[in-house]
Amino acid sequence: MFGLTKLAQPLAKQSLQVISKRTNITVNGPPQVRMPKWQQLLIGGTASGSILIIPIWVLYDLKSLPRA
């Protein structure tokens, strides 16, 4: 039983080292690379448009539904 713990300890230390290498530490502050304004507008417009397209289409399509 004690032989197994001696074997498991190096594996545990190695897995902790791998996990610590994978974690990203974020620091609040200004961005390291600034995005151009046109790119921000393009990405924001695309995201907004993709979210709003379905409700707009449903509201537009309500006119063509038969009334009961």
For residue 2, give both structure tokens: 């004690």
pLDDT at 27 (0 to 100): 76
pLDDT along the chain (68 residues), means of 10: 63 65 72 91 96 92 82
Q: Where are the domains of the chain?
A: 35-67
Separation of alpha carbons 37 and 42, rounded Å: 9
- Residue identified by tokens 């530490």 is 25
pLDDT at 26 (0 to 100): 72
- pTM for the complete prediction? 0.47
For residue 24, give both structure tokens: 């990203």
